[in-house]
């Protein structure tokens, strides 16, 4: 049989398949029984669902786990014969049964749950100091990318700290190159602005906000002093991992609130006409477009725009 034609997805496909092979082996999914218990991985998942919520029907469990009805029926039948679950007919549909763990079933799940907990604890204990956190973050990312119903994480804002400025420079350089085709001179300009901010930082009248989700940077913005009466908003960026949370608006609102508390009479900013998402945020916040000027920068023909907000 001939091999399928090569595509641009071959690299990621191979990587994902390799990870699947590794992970199924790592968690013991290839073994007939999970964690040396009398249960397969699927049977253990059914026990878990029944332990979390009683009176579920087989149909509800099957829908949640994506199991074939016939396969699930055989599992439930086996559990019933072993006195692990009870079945109670549903009044509205005598073909359906509400399932619940018996005392024996709860004991079996408790043993399995304890073994699983200890097994994961041993795995985490073998990792380097920050390995557990990195592993959880990677798994959380996978879950959110593949599960539309995964809970959305909360985004938080904080002051800048060690290492944040390197992230600001790197993300600006990477994202603007990837999304707009800007060259490395833009990254150089951001690096210069960041260095100036750190060297001349006035905490009483200047701020940098870093947006985080689960401890990872996903956005930033700077407010710097231009004169005694005018502040400048700079380097607003929201990483793709942070989009959809309203972070751009939150970051700009923080700048406005801080500027007013410092007594600035005006906030100014410089952006480009093709940065439509950013322009929409500025306009919604009350900024007014006051000037435009074509220029050649970052390997592109651009139209620079000055926007202002008067307090």
**All domains in the chain, ordered by first residue:** 10-126 (1.10.10.10), 155-310 (3.40.630.30)
Q: How much is the pLDDT for 6?
A: 62
Q: How much is the pLDDT for 9?
A: 65
Spatial strand order of the sheet with 56-57 comes to 56-57, 93-101, 85-90
Q: Which residue, 233, 239, 191, 197, is CA-closest to 214?
A: 239
Q: How much is the pLDDT for 159?
A: 95
Q: How many CB atoms lie within 10 A of CB 263?
A: 11
Whether the pTM exceeds 0.85: the reply is no
CA distance 231 to 264: 6
Contact call for residues 309 and 192 (beta carbons, < 8 A): no
Q: How much is the pLDDT for 58?
A: 87
- Going from the first residue of the chain to its last (311 residues), give the mean pLDDT of each consecutive group of 10, the final group possibly shorter: 61 87 80 82 91 86 90 92 91 82 93 90 87 82 78 87 95 96 97 96 96 91 97 96 91 96 96 96 96 97 97 73
CA distance 218 to 276: 19
Q: How much is the pLDDT for 147?
A: 80
Q: Which residue, 43, 80, 49, is CA-closest to 64?
A: 49
Contact call for residues 164 and 182 (beta carbons, < 8 A): no
> Which token pair is 55?
């009176």
Q: How much is the pLDDT for 2?
A: 57
Q: How many residues does the chain have?
A: 311
């Amino acid at each position: 049989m001939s091999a399928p034609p090569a595509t641009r997805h071959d690299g990621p496909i191979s990587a994902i398949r390799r990870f699947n092979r590794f992970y199924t082996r790592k968690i013991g999914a290839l073994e007939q029984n999970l964690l040396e218990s009398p249960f397969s991985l699927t049977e253990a998942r059914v026990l878990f669902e029944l332990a979390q919520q009683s009176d579920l029907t087989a149909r509800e469990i099957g829908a949640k786990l994506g199991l074939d009805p016939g396969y699930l029926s055989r599992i439930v039948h086996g559990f019933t014969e072993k006195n692990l679950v009870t079945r109670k007919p549903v009044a509205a549909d005598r073909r359906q049964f509400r399932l619940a763990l018996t005392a024996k079933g709860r004991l079996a799940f408790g043993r399995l749950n304890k073994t699983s907990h200890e097994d994961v604890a041993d795995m985490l204990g073998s990792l380097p100091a920050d390995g557990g956190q990195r592993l959880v973050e990677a798994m959380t990312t996978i879950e959110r990318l593949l599960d539309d119903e995964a809970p959305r994480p909360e985004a938080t804002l904080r002051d800048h700290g060690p290492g944040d400025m390197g992230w600001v420079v790197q993300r600006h350089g990477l994202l603007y190159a990837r999304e707009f085709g800007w060259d490395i001179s833009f990254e150089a300009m951001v690096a210069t602005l960041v260095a100036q901010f750190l060297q001349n930082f006035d905490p009483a009248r200047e701020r940098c906000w870093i947006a985080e989700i689960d401890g990872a940077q996903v956005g930033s913005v700077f407010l710097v002093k231009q004169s005694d009466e005018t502040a400048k908003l700079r380097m607003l960026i929201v990483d793709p991992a942070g989009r959809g949370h309203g972070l751009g608006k939150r970051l700009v609102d923080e700048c406005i609130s801080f500027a007013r508390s410092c007594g600035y009479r005006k906030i100014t900013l410089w952006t480009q006409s093709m940065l439509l998402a950013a322009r929409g945020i500025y306009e919604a916040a009350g900024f007014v477009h006051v000037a435009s000027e074509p220029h050649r920068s970052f390997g592109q023909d651009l139209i620079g725009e000055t926007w202002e907000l008067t307090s």
